[in-house]
Structure 1
C-alpha cells in the first residue's frame, strides 16, 4: 500500500503527534521499526531492542489482543445466556467494544489482526508476509482458547444451572451454530452467511484503514472497526452467529469441548459443523478484500490529485498532468 518513502514519512508524522499508526494494514505498512528520534529519547541500546522485537513480539501482541477480544465477547454471551442479564443488543455492542479494546492492545506491535481471515486477506492483497500467517493464526487461536477457558471457569455455576448437561442450549456461549441453535438454518446456510459477513468485514476494514481513502485521523480507526462489528452483529447475526473469525470460533469451541461440551464439534442437527466458521470466513475475507481492491483501491486518486467532485481542477494539477 505504501512504498518505503511513504512508510518513512507516515512514521515521522505519527511519531511527532505521538499517535500509533492505523492497525490492520500488514506489518510492513503499519509497524515502524523505531520512531525517528528514538535514539535520542531511548538511548542507543534500548532503541535497538525496541526495533528488534521481531516475530515473537508480534505473536505476543496477537495473543494478548485476541485474549481481550474473547474475554469480553464470550463473557457477554455467558452473562446473557447464563444469567439472563442483557439481550442481543448487549451482545452486539459488547463484541464491538471487545474489538476496539483488542485492537488498541495489539495494534502498535502486530497490527492487531486478531483474526486469521484478516491475516490471510492481508497476505493475499497487501503484502503481509506469508511466513507469518500460520504463526499469527496460532497465536490468535491460543489467545481465544485461553480467554474461553477463563470465561468457562468464571461462569461455570450459572451455566451448570441453566444447562446441567452442557448441551447445545449453552454451546453458543463459546462457539457459533447455524440459526444460533434454534432457527431453521442448516450448515450450508451458515456457510453462505459466514462468507458474506466476513466479506463485509474485510471490505470495510480496508476502506477504513486505507490512508488514501479518508481514513480516521489519529488513532480512531479501532472505534470505527468496532462499529463495523456491531453493525454486522445487528444485521447479519441470525443465520450463523457472525463468527467472521476462525480463531474466535475454534479456540472457544475447543475450550468448551475440553470442559464438558461433548457435542461441541456438531450443530443442533448432529452435523459436523466446526469447519464452517473456519473455512467460510477465510473465503469471505479474501472475497471482501478483493472487492475493495477492485471497486475502490485502484480508483483512489494519486498524490496531488484534486478532490473528487471539485470542478475545475487546480491549474497546477492540470499542468502537471499535461506534462506527463
Structure 2
C-alpha cells in the first residue's frame, strides 16, 4: 500500500460507500471516487438502450415478486407447524414484503426503465402519457419474464420443503393446486365456493385503488408527495389492499401472476390455469381496472398547467400558446367574478 493511500482521509472525511448519500445532509466530505475512464464511458455508451430497459423491468419485477412470494411460502409451509404459522408469517408480513419489494424495485431499476413493473401501468402510460407504443410489447414480456424467474428461484430455495409438503398432500389425497396448497405459494387461487363474479369485482376495485394511488404518486404537480417518497407510497398502496382483501384472492399485477403461474403449471400441472376458471381474472383484470382509475385521474384531477409550471411538460404549440391560454382563462375567470 502506498503511503499516500494511508493519508488520503482527513479527520473530517468519510470513506466511500453508502455515506455518499449523506454528503448533501451533513457538513463532512466524502473521499472522491476514482476518476471515470474513457474505456468505461465507451462501454456504457455501447450498451443497447432497449436491452437495458428490458433488463431493468425484468429485474424490478423479480425484486418485488421474490420477497412477496417468499413471505407467502414462509406462511404456507409452516401452516401446520406445531408452533403455528403466525410465528413464521402472516398477511401483515406478506403485505410488507410486497410493499418494500416494490419500493426497492423502483429505487434500483426505475432510473433505467421508468419503473413500470406492471403491464397495466405500461399500457396506461402509453395511452395517457405518450410512452412509445413500440416499447409496450417488450416491456410487458420483460415484466412477465421477471416474475417467471422469481418463481423459479423460489422453487429452488424451497425445493425441499415444498417437496415434503407435496408428498404429504398426495398421501392424504389432497390437491396440489388450491388455496393453501403448494401451487398457491406462486400464484393466487380462489377459495372453494367463491363466486367468480365476486372475485372479479373485488380484484377490479382493488386494482382501481392501486392504479389511482400510482397516478397520484407520479403526478409532478402533486404537492403532497416528493419523488423520494413515491416508491414507498406506491408499495404501501399494494400493501393496504393486500391487508384489506387478501383473503378474498388478489393478484393486482399481470406480471406478478402470469410469470409465477407458468412456473406453477410446470411443477404442479396445467390445473394452475384451469382451477375454477380463475386465471383469466388474475391475469387480465388489472388492465381494465387501471385504465378506469387512470382515466378518472386524468379527466378529473390532472392539472396540466401546474405540470408545465413544474417543468415536467411543455405546451405542444409552444410558450406563446400557453401564454394565450393563461391570459384567456384568467380574463374569463376575472370577468365571471365581477359579474
With 218-227 and 283-292 compared, the bigger mean Cα shift is at 218-227
- Spell out the pairing of 1:175-254 with structure 2 (5 A cutoff): 175-178=187-190, 181-182=191-192, 184-214=193-223, 216-241=225-250, 243-254=251-262
With 194-203 and 165-174 compared, the bigger mean Cα shift is at 165-174
Q: Distance in 2 between matches of 1:47 and 1:211?
A: 33
TM-score by length of 1: 0.74
Q: How far has the Cα of 1:244 moved from its partner?
A: 0.9
Q: Does 1:259 align with 2:272?
A: no
**Contact 1:148 / 1:255 at 8 angstroms: preserved in 2?**
yes
1:167 to 177, 181, 188: 177
Q: How far has the Cα of 1:300 moved from its partner?
A: 6.9
Q: Distance in 2 between matches of 1:131 and 1:277?
A: 25
Structure 1 residues 46, 223: CA separation in 2 closer, same or farther (over 3 Å shift)?
A: same
Structure 1 residues 99, 304: CA separation in 2 closer, same or farther (over 3 Å shift)?
A: closer
Q: Distance in 2 between matches of 1:138 and 1:80?
A: 30
Give the aligned CA root-mean-square deviation in angstroms: 3.1
Q: How far has the Cα of 1:217 moved from its partner?
A: 2.5
Q: How far has the Cα of 1:197 moved from its partner?
A: 1.4
1:292 counterpart residue number: 297
**Contact 2:221 / 2:303 at 8 angstroms: preserved in 1?**
no
Structure 1 residues 260, 304: CA separation in 2 closer, same or farther (over 3 Å shift)?
A: closer
Q: Distance in 2 between matches of 1:163 and 1:67?
A: 25
2:54 counterpart residue number: 59
Structure 1 residues 236, 153: CA separation in 2 closer, same or farther (over 3 Å shift)?
A: same
Structure 1 residues 42, 194: CA separation in 2 closer, same or farther (over 3 Å shift)?
A: farther
Q: How far has the Cα of 1:216 moved from its partner?
A: 2.8
Q: Distance in 2 between matches of 1:63 and 1:100?
A: 15
TM-score by length of 2: 0.71
Flag the structure with larger Rg: 2
Offset from partner CA, 1:18-41 (integer Å, 9 cap, x none): 99xxxxxxxxxxxxxxxxxxxx97
Q: Does 1:118 align with 2:128?
A: no
1:23 counterpart residue number: none
The structure with higher relative contact order (CA 8 Å, sep 6+) is: 1
Q: How far has the Cα of 1:189 moved from its partner?
A: 1.9
2:15 counterpart residue number: none
**Contact 1:82 / 1:155 at 8 angstroms: preserved in 2?**
no
2:145 to 142, 145, 151: 142
2:154 to 151, 158, 169: 151
Determine helix, strand or coil for the equivalent of 1:236: helix
